Structure 1
Amino acid sequence: MLDVMTLHLTATDLSRTVLRSAPSVLLELGAAGQRLFEAAVPEHLTAWRARTRAALRPQMRPYLDLCRLPWWFPDFLTPPSLGSDLTAALDEVSATPTATLEAELRPRIAAGDLPARVGALAAGEPVARQRLRAAMVAFHEVAVAPYWETITAAVHADRAVRGSTMVDAGIERVLRNLSPYLYWKPCGERYELSYECGFANEIGLAPAGRGVTLVPSYLVPRPCVLDDPTGPLVLAYPIRPGRRELASGQPLADLLGRTRAAVLGAIAGGPSTSQVARTVGISVASASQHTSTLRQAGLITTQRAGPAVLHTLTPLGEHLLRAGRGS
């Protein structure tokens, strides 16, 4: 029997469904860790995995210990905010209550799914918490940070396509074509969105009016659900990358400078200046200065939409972004 997760959605859930505009740094980090232990990865990740494996260090083990199971990943490592800022996200992980660590990790240790050394973290020991945070930072530096511009640009491009579909055809069309792993089925006044998973024969979740937050991801291998009862149900789904290999944006950074190249990549999805600033991790004033320079160079265009200033790539900017990343 196939293992199936089904989301039971109402019209209210559909009306409250939103699409995230930026990747989640901890979601990508967790997926990167799990990809290391897969038997095979897609062609566009083969070279990335080889480079990442070659760069692994012993201090990363406290985090990678938690990434070894293909069908399970600790919820506390992907807190509900799913932000793009690593420091803020790690602060959330560090603040995880000991009771939560115990509840998530002890059963896996007892079942032999996790090594016994994870027990110190399950007990909430301060040194174990510190080692986990240091391991996440170290792993992020080799597995995600060098590729963040490429990941962000791909996620923005996916969101732009979904956003256009939502405007032209509605949210049902978006959900129907979200991923080849997901199956959409109207059922009278309700709707079902299901996918094959690897941890139960059949599970059903009902947001019951809380809505759904769609999170596009470059590295997750298959859809996954994060259900925080206090907020919308989160559905992360794998995008279809528009390139053959995940590579860093170094050539483009050499040409424009690292920050300006990151700003250009962040503009792929048509964001506002403040959204660019949050994505790149710079001040709004700095983002405004960089977008002004890119606009004067003919790489982006800018228009006002109410109080927001929105930026989009010109054909020249799109060409430069693709060429700089070897697409």
Structure 2
Amino acid sequence: MVTLHLSAADLSRTVLRSEPSVLLELGAAGQRVFQTTVPEHLVAWRARTRAAVRPVMWPYLDLCRQERWFPDFLTPPGFSGELSPALAEVAATPTSTLTAELRPRIEAGELPPRVGPLADGKPDAVRRLLDAMEAFHAVAVGAYWETIVAAVHADRAVRGRAIVDAGLDRVLRGLSPYLQFTPTGDTYELSYRCAFGGDVGLSPGGRGVTLVPSYFVPQPAVLDDPTGPLVLTYPIRPARRELATGQPLAHLLGRSRAAVLGVVADGLSTSQVARAVGISIASASEHTSTLRRAGLIVTHRAGSSVVHTLTPLGEHMLRAGRPD
């Protein structure tokens, strides 16, 4: 059991990220590819991804095959949602870190000998790793990123409403079926059962906790960076539909407008739509106006902002646009 011992100061500094981490999703996808069983909504995804694996991807997939271990340097603390800056963080990993993380695993036979040049920090090996990550991302994560982001946004929207309606205590109690939240006098415990056995206790010491929702991770995991908040990544609630690219809808509406329709499912403002899709506020406003005139979304005012939500027709189109 891994238990986070939280003070009132930790709770006051607990935040929930609005975006998934691209490298956390990539690493979890790499592990999912090798699992004998996956959730129903990932079965077809795994088959497609396995079929797309190429030799260029193995410098990365070699590091993903260990079910109970994943190199920390492949998930740097920046937790960027964009691939390029995230890869730049990996590229800056000191050789001493590569050696410390990889060499013992090679010597124990848990990693193949061909990982040796990477453990020694050879520039060519680092370059091959980055190329492998980029190639695997294209087939396993990048093609599905809009769907992944929309699912994470939807999960976060539920948490946000729960904070307003019932407070952070209720959110942490229902955050994930894998997590247990227990008040214990003046402190609080947030715990989960670790697949590796044993008991571990961690205390942020007033640093707080950053909660990172994830589409692919199978169970919660803690990343403890002493220079920042303690990070807890957790799986969002399983999707009810198969993970798909949504390309038929993109062909009908155009890629950007289809992406706007997808994120509006979470009930977002115009500026939030712009950030989620990566477009300007003016473009987001234009797209939402077009979708509203088509009867696919409705817009209502919430304070100083406007919030867009799907109509029944828009929800039906969104579902129909995701292929089986």
Q: Shorter-chain TM-score category?
A: over 0.9
1:164 alignment partner AA = R
The aligned amino acid for 1:25 is V
SS class of match (1:230): coil
Distance in 2, Cα, partners of 1:130 & 1:309: 46
Q: State whether structure 2 residue 183 is matched by structure 1 residue 191.
A: no
RMSD of Structure 2 on Structure 1 (CA): 2.0
Q: Tell me what 1:228 maps to.
A: 225
Shift, 1:59, TM fit = 0.2
1:156 matches 2:153:
yes
TM-score, normalising length from structure 2? Answer: 0.92
Among 24, 28, 33, the residue aligned to 2:30: 33
Give the counterpart of 1:179 among 176, 181, 185: 176
Task: Name which of 67, 78, 99 aligns with 2:96.
Answer: 99
Q: What's the counterpart of residue 296 of structure 1?
A: 293
In 2: Cα distance, 1:123 partner to 1:269 partner: 45
Structure 2 residues not aligned, in runs of 5+: none
Partners of 1:180 and 1:136 in 2: CA distance: 31
Task: Report whether the alignment pairs 1:58 with 2:55.
Answer: yes
Seen in structure 2, the aligned counterparts of structure 1 residues 228 and 294 have a Cα distance that, compared at 3 Å, is farther
- SS of aligned partner of 1:66: coil
Question: How far does the alpha carbon of each residue in 1:135-189 deviate from its partner, in whole angstroms, 9 at most, with x for none?
Answer: 1111111111222122122111111111111111111111111111112221111
Structure 1: distance between partners of 2:89 and 2:275: 17
Relative to structure 1, the CA distance from residue 110 to residue 83 in structure 2 (aligned partners, 3 Å threshold; closer, same or farther) is same
Shift of 1:50: 0.7
Residues 260 and 68 of structure 1, relative CA distance in 2, 3 Å threshold: same
Structure 1 residues 184 and 78 mapped into 2: Cα distance closer, same or farther (>3 Å)? same
Within a 5 Å distance, the mapping from 1:18-167 to structure 2 comes to 18-167=15-164
Q: Whole-Å Cα distance in 2 between the matches of residues 100 and 229 of structure 1? A: 16
Q: Give SS of 2:231's match.
A: strand
> 3-state DSSP class of the match of 1:269?
coil
Residues 32-71 of structure 1: per-residue CA shift (max 9 Å, x gap) = 1000111211111111101110110000001101101111
1:204 pairs with 190, 201, 206, which one? Answer: 201
Is there any run of 5+ residues in structure 1 with no aligned partner, and where? Answer: none
Deviation at 1:234, TM superposition (A): 1.3
Residues 230-282 of structure 1: CA distance to partner in whole angstroms, max 9, x if unpaired? 22211111112332321221121121112221222233333444543443334
Counterpart residue number, 2:257: 260
Distance 1:40 1:18 in 2: 32
SS at match of 2:63: helix
**Which shows bigger deviation, 273-282 or 233-242?**
273-282
Q: How many equivalent residue pairs?
A: 323
Q: Which moved more, 1:136-145 or 1:102-111?
A: 102-111
Alpha-carbon distance change, 23 to 314 in structure 1, aligned in 2, over 3 angstroms: farther
Whole-Å separation in 1 of the counterparts to 2:61 and 2:160: 35
Question: What SS does the aligned partner of 2:190 have?
Answer: strand
Q: 2:216 aligns with which of 197, 219, 238?
A: 219
Helix, strand or coil at the partner of 1:214: strand
Rounded to whole Å, the distance in 1 between the matches of 2:300 and 2:54 is: 44
Instruction: Give the partner amino acid of 2:54.
Output: R
* Counterpart-to-counterpart distance in 1, 2:184 and 2:321: 46
